[in-house]
Chains A and B, each alone.
Chain A
Amino acid sequence: MAAHDEKISQNRRKLFKALSAAPVVTTFSSGSALANASAHQCLANPPVASTPQYLEPLPAECSDSNPGANCMAYVERFYWDNDGLSGTHLQYWNNTVTDGRIVVLTDETTATLFTVNPDGSDPDPINTSWNYSVSGSNLIVPGQGGGATPVSLPGKTGYFLLEVVPNADLTGIQEAYAYPQATQDPLAQSCGTSLGVTATNGVHWVDG
């Protein structure tokens, strides 16, 4: 306890001394750090674009020649922070399959903003039976039938696309995948491609 008190006294002296000086924060970035920072910024503030997003993998029963209900993708772009999740509805359902990928055109000019609260409530639900919930830092996406096998997506600060594949009768979620926001940087082509992608329980996410 005495050590704690001494630490407090020391901090108090430091604080009063520090308060007399100007608060200065100077930042230096190395070349490689600039590259990393660029990737970070790209995830944190992706440019608005109306460019195709390609989502993989496809559900097993889905192919170029067999697009159907199970090939549909419901896509949202989320931003996760400590206040919970916020996001943008991009294009909702899409069953365009090209070269083994679901193609989703993002059109943010017509998209609407929404927020998922930390308690899991969604002020702007698309389907109330599909409400997301939050457990710790994870986003829980209800499983098939609206809750049988929830999919847990790691929450990280930054934008990501959430692809939800419904079950056949569209009453629940069969699979869910999260992707780093892919942007169309003219030089790097995509922020996501500069970062590793891991797969855990069918969920893709930015490595690190």
Chain B
Amino acid sequence: MTADRRLWFRNRPDCLSDPVCEGVCFDPATGETHFLGDLPALLLSVIDSEPVSVDRLTQRLTGADAIADDDRKKMIGALLFLEAAELVESRFE
């Protein structure tokens, strides 16, 4: 199985973003505060309770279906970071 085949979603209340400090969010589900880099923050902003693929997330962000392979790997890497922080969940298609 590869991360490519995963669907990503967040089945919890939204991580509450700090309106002043960009990239800082408080997760009410765990009580933890997360400091997110640009890419994880951007991805988190388009992940909701609907399980979607990386391609669909790309489409949500850019309006385009395709993305370069290297960039796609970076996105998957960021998603795995988010999952490790329990900010998103994934399941296989």
| A27-B11 contact in complex given A8-B62, A11-B42, A11-B61, C-beta closer than 8 Å | no
Of the listed residues A12, A15, A23, A157, the one surrounded by the most CB atoms of chain B closer than 10 A to its CB is: A23
| A12-B71 contact in complex given A21-B37, A23-B77, A33-B30, C-beta closer than 8 Å | no
The answer to whether A25 touches B61, judged by C-beta atoms less than 8 angstroms apart, is no
Interface SS of chain B: helix, strand, loop or mixed? Answer: mixed
Q: B32's contact among A18, A23, A27, A82, by CB below 8 Å, is which?
A: A27
Q: Any chain A CB within 8 A of the CB of B66?
A: no
Report chain A residues within 8 Å CB of B91: 81-83
Contact pattern, B 8-41, Cβ under 8 Å of A = 1, otherwise 0: 0101000000000000000001111111111111
Complex: A11 Cα to B43 Cα, angstroms: 10
Q: How near does chain A come to B28, taking the closest CB pair, in angstroms?
A: 10
Q: B35's contact among A11, A14, A15, A24, by CB below 8 Å, is which?
A: A24
The answer to whether A23 touches B81, judged by C-beta atoms less than 8 angstroms apart, is yes
The answer to whether A15 touches B37, judged by C-beta atoms less than 8 angstroms apart, is no
Q: Any chain A CB within 8 A of the CB of B84?
A: yes
A-binding residues in B (CB < 8 A)? 9, 11, 29-42, 46, 51, 61-64, 71, 74-75, 77-78, 81-82, 84-85, 87, 89, 91
B-binding residues in A (CB < 8 A)? 5, 8, 11-12, 14-15, 17-19, 21-30, 32-34, 36-37, 40, 81-83, 157
Sample of 4 more A-B contacts, CB < 8 Å, known A33-B30, A82-B51: A14-B38, A28-B32, A81-B89, A82-B9
